[in-house]
Amino acid sequence: MEFEHYSVMLQETIDALRVREGGIYVDGTVGGAGHGEKICELLGSRGGFIGIDMDEEALRASKERLERFGNVELVHDNFANIDNILDSLGIEEIDGGVLDLGVSSYQLDRSERGFSYRADAPLDMRMDRNILKTAAEVVNNYTAAELTKILLECGEERYARQIARRIVEKRPINTTFELVKVIKGAVPPRVRYAEGKHPAKRAFQAIRIEVNGELKNISSAVDKFALRLKIGGRLAIITFHSLEDRIVKRKFIEIEGGKCVCPKGMPVCVCGANKRADKEFKVVTRKPVVPSGGEIEINPRSKSAKLRVIERVG
């Protein structure tokens, strides 16, 4: 099966990065190299592109797609290790970075990877298949309290406690469809049969996040990427659910120097947050960029995507 990942808001992301000819750019979630290819086309022969991914199959696809370009370095690692990666390559600063935090269409559609609640497969969900923890381990070994915590914090699942108790009662659970059946049995009929909303969506998201440690890496990675930017360099991040977006939004505000805390109704800012002339970073996207209606029609999975951008200004 060909590695496929529709790059959401591709042109919007490339435009936001303002790619400089001859610059150095890092894609921390290179996937099938949709963003990477566009960046490389704009870099010219003097530029450098570094693509990072936890999924070795994604890296193989990226290598094939980018083989016509020079100065491409592909790294099998987690984007949270950006400092070590850049140090190992002898690179101090970069002109831009991009993080597309979505799961690729390839990962979702390839049933044996166990990401999808719409196909029967062993419970896996590992982005990096070299790690030991799988979804089966989480589902079958975590306590009801631990499962509840994950479902609440990583899935914002309203029926977390009921689902966790049902999972413990029905173990062992070895496949995605077995897990879906358990989840359906734990939620009310109105949720089970709600049109257009799969009852297992949030639980699968939560388990996937736990398996891959997704949320815990985002905040520190944003810091690391931002501090490696040259002046004028930008970091663009695409999120696909509210948990990721909330982390990115808050981290951008923190990096920029804080949010105005003046009482509502004040005609001007008096706390100083909006008056600082020495800000090192500037949030470019006060409101996130979202996909157009046309893009959502072509790729319904893009509906929840949000693009946020920050720039190093001084």
Residue 258's pLDDT is what?
67
Contact between 82 and 221 (Cβ < 8 Å): yes
Instruction: Give the model's pLDDT for residue 293.
Output: 96
- Predicted local confidence at residue 102, as pLDDT: 73
Q: Give residue 56's pLDDT.
A: 93
Q: Which residues have C-beta within 8 Å of that of residue 275, sequence separation ≥ 6?
A: 269
Mean pLDDT across the chain: 92
Asked if 147 contacts 167 with a C-beta cutoff of 8 angstroms, the reply is: yes
Give the CATH number of domain 10-105+215-312: 3.40.50.150
pLDDT (0 to 100) of residue 197: 86
The pLDDT of residue 1 is above 50: no
Do residues 152 and 142 touch, judged by C-beta distance below 8 A? no
What is the topology classification, in CATH, of domain 116-212?
A: DNA polymerase; domain 1 (1.10.150)
Residue 218 phi, psi (nearest 5)? -65, -55
Average pLDDT over residues 271-294: 83
Cα radius of gyration (the chain): 21
**Residue among 196, 186, 197, 55 nearest 115 (CA):** 55
pTM attached to this predicted model: 0.86
pLDDT tens digits, 90-106: 999 999 999 999 776 66
Strand runs (DSSP E) across the chain, as ranges? 24-27, 48-53, 72-76, 94-100, 229-239, 281-283, 306-312
| Sequence ranges of the domains in the chain | 10-105+215-312, 116-212
d(CA 217, CA 313) in angstroms, rounded, equals: 25
- Are 157 and 241 a contacting pair, CB within 8 Å? no
Handedness of CA 117, 123, 128, 133 (dihedral sign): positive
List pLDDT tens digits, range 109-163. Answer: 677 899 999 999 999 999 998 999 999 999 999 999 999 999 999 999 999 999 9
Please indicate whether residue 274 or residue 297 has the higher confidence score (pLDDT): 297
45-54, 129-138, 229-238, 266-275: which range is least confident on average? 266-275
> What are residue 237's DSSP bridge partners?
99, 308
**Which pairing describes strands 48-53 and 72-76: parallel, antiparallel, or unpaired?**
parallel
Which H or E run contains 232?
A: strand 229-239
pLDDT surpasses 60 at 8: yes
pLDDT value of position 217: 85
Decide: helix, strand or coil at residue 289.
strand
Integer Cα distance of 166 and 40 in angstroms: 49
Statement: residue 276 has pLDDT above 60 = no
pLDDT at 272 over 80: no
Helix/strand/coil for 187: coil
**Contact residues for 131 (Cβ-Cβ < 8 A; gap 6+):** 211, 212
- Tell me the pLDDT tens digit for each residue of 30-60: 999 999 999 999 998 889 999 999 999 999 9
